[in-house]
Amino acid sequence: MNKRVLALVCAAVTISSVSCVSQNTTQQVTLSSEQAAEAVAEESAAASESAEARSEESSGAETGGQLNLYTWEGMFPQEILDGFESDSGVKIDYINFDTDETMLAKLQTANGGDYDLVIADDYIIETAVAENLVQKLDASKLSNYGNINPMYQGQFYDPANEYTVPYGAGVLTLLYDPSVVSLDIKGYGDLWDASLKDSVGLIANYRVINGVALKVLGESFNTNDLDTIQKAGDKLVELAPNIRVIKDDALQNDLLSGEISAGIFYTSQATSAKLENPDLRVVFPEEGIGFGIMAGFIPSNAPNAEAAYAFLDYILDPERGARCFEYLGYYSTFSASDPLISPEYKEFLTLPDGFNSDMEMIENISAEANEKHEQIWTAFKTASGME
């Protein structure tokens, strides 16, 4: 699933130059005062209680150096970035990409080098791992690793949890205004109700919306069966009379203005709408939820992997994690952060207690299946008067 499924915060920016720092660690040793004096004369030694000694050629997280962080714009509150630099002595070089594909191309060119920590979407991470561009994660270097919500682990792109730390989940959000909708909406299927004629808004992602029809039919988002996908297309055409608008850009404004009364939104749009109108109602569909995950990984030839571990552990702190997800507007992937998320955010940044509905990630499918999806999407938009 691409970045548009998760949010509308992607922006193209100029990629800055990257400084490559070699990293070699050795076992810390305890020295006598005479030995220490001699060592200082030869090279600088790490002074932190938890740090390892470095050779004169190295540059580590506890003794300064640089973290080359590669992700989208606006992924962390500035106070988190500033706090990490202050606490660790590591300078962050925040490098932005516009799409996952741009990131992968850069990583391929660098042969898994240049960058220390990358945060990207699930489907592209699967490709990066397959191309040996990602190193295995040493969880023993993350004291806060247990704060991760296991619901967001063991997914298709990292089934054995060997490579990644999940950082934010985008949940396909069904949202409506109960002040103008008499129907008690409980699932995607209720959007077909005749009372919602000409009042439903949808995001313009064909895999998401076609997937909703598949879920209503009791099927998987990721089926490759062409007949099943066609049946979903036929079901979508039945929804056409209820469609008022199909668009990606700021769909939440149509709900807030009254142009539509219900719809399916990106997580970031639902967050924005709920903050402006807390009376809007979020629905966890009875048919099951589609979701995508962003995750951090350390490239195979990262210049300063230790800085990447230090930053990951820093944001895995419960309080810092909560601040990150409030800023980001995505569902929290750190269970230890959930209780610390402010009440005004909690309803749409955390799953409800006891939630056990079917959750399914949108994955890559065959070329033939994708072509069929494109065909039924075009037919649906035509029937809705949007083509």
Q: Do 159 and 21 belong together in one domain?
A: yes
pTM value is 0.72
Mean of the per-residue pLDDT values of the chain = 84
- Residue 6, pLDDT > 80, answer no
- What radius of gyration do the chain's Cα atoms show? 23
Q: Do 94 and 116 belong together in one domain?
A: yes
Domain containing residue 106 = 3-168+293-347
- Residue 1, pLDDT > 70, answer no
Q: Residue 356's pLDDT is what?
A: 55
Q: Do 56 and 198 belong together in one domain?
A: no
52-66, 147-161, 169-183, 252-266: least confidently modelled range: 52-66
Q: How confident is the model at residue 354 (pLDDT cuts 50, 70, 90)?
A: low
Classify 242 as helix, strand or coil.
Answer: helix
Q: How far is CA 85 from the centre of its chain?
A: 23
Q: Do 313 and 239 belong together in one domain?
A: no
Nearest to 234 by CA among 103, 371, 379: 379
- Residue 289, pLDDT > 50, answer yes
- Residue 381, pLDDT > 60, answer yes
- Residue 26, pLDDT > 80, answer no
Q: How far is CA 4 from the centre of its chain?
A: 11
The tally of domains found in the chain comes to 2
Q: Do 280 and 302 belong together in one domain?
A: no
Q: Residue 86's pLDDT is what?
A: 96
Q: Do 233 and 363 belong together in one domain?
A: yes
Do 292 and 361 meet the contact criterion of CB atoms below 8 Å apart?
Answer: yes
CB-side neighbour CA atoms (13 Å) of 191:
33
Share of the chain above pLDDT 70, in %: 82
For the stretch 158-183, pLDDT in tens is 999 999 999 999 888 899 999 999 99
Here the CATH number for the domain that contains residue 257 is 3.40.190.10
Q: Do 222 and 95 belong together in one domain?
A: no
Q: Do 17 and 142 belong together in one domain?
A: yes
